[in-house]
Amino acid sequence: MTNTTDQKPQATNVPAVSFEFFPPQTLDASFRLWETVQALAPLRPDFVSVTYGAGGTTRKLTHEAVATIHKNYGLTVAAHLTCVDATKAETMEIVEAYHQAGVTEIVALRGDPPKGAPRFTPHAEGFASSIELIEALARDGRFTIRCGAYPEPHPEATDPLADVRWLKRKTEAGATSAITQFFFEPDTFFRFRDACLREGITAKLIPGVLPIQSWKGVKGFAARCGAHVPAGLESRFEAAIRDGREQELSVELCVDLCEKLMAGGVDHFQFYTLNRPQLTQKVCAALGVTADRRLAVA
């Protein structure tokens, strides 16, 4: 049964949180990453993740960021790993380097195609899919394996349930939890969760939440990943931008989404920080996720 969200929920528990960062490619971006980590580390996230660039373009930078965050901040880091533009041997060398750096969790993904490529094409000697990568990591046996999930159909999906069936195969291969793409409405997640349960998926589903830093940027991202934009949302942001209230509206919408998800049983959120901590901090504070509260429930 799909959860209803027409009543204002009363959230009483402090949710678990995790944060996604991306590796810096300039000096200014490096400062912004470390400022973001320093700002959010006191919230005691269950883990943090560090992304790959499209086509694996930030592979070395990702490894460096992962190693530094783990060593200097004592956080559990779930390192992204993709199948793009690498042989199986090269990919497993990265896995070994992660292990040597003290990493115990990996987010295993197929990955986006290199810039300019119309679609993903497996390397002739590489992993053909995220399932093959997960199977290899499961055989390795040294990592907690997380994967990605699409609560709305992926642009390459052949039918509405294709992503659910694919997720089931990933969990059967060894992934123990899945982090979703961002979405705007709680019922999007609840419908997806219901569909997963009907398919027998028991792995934990962690909603990916995106505090909107820039409405213009998010619109483009939503179009590329297939996220449905609710009617009226654009006009609300246009008005907020005119009034200088874009960030206030973003926090309001994000808190409302999280509270309704919590009322439906969600107890963990993955925040896509875009290496800018302010909005994530405000949303977490509104949900009771503060340094003192997280310490109390740890």
State in Å, rounded, how far the first CA of the chain is from the last one.
Answer: 32
Q: How far is CA 236 from the centre of its chain?
A: 25
Q: How far is CA 10 from the centre of its chain?
A: 25
Using CB atoms within 10 A of its CB, is residue 144 exposed (0-12), middle (13-18) or buried (19+)? middle
With beta carbons less than 8 A apart as the criterion, state whether 83 and 122 touch. yes
Q: What values do phi and psi take at 78, rounded to 5?
A: -100, 105
Residue the block writes with tokens 């390192």: 79
Catalytic residue at 20? yes
Contacting residues for 234 by C-beta, under 8 A, at least 6 apart: 215, 219
With beta carbons less than 8 A apart as the criterion, state whether 91 and 123 touch. no
User: Following DSSP, what letter does each residue of 57-97 receive, concatenated?
Assistant: TTHHHHHHHHHHHHHHH---EEEEE--TT--HHHHHHHHHH
Strand partners, 178: 147, 205
List the catalytic residues.
20
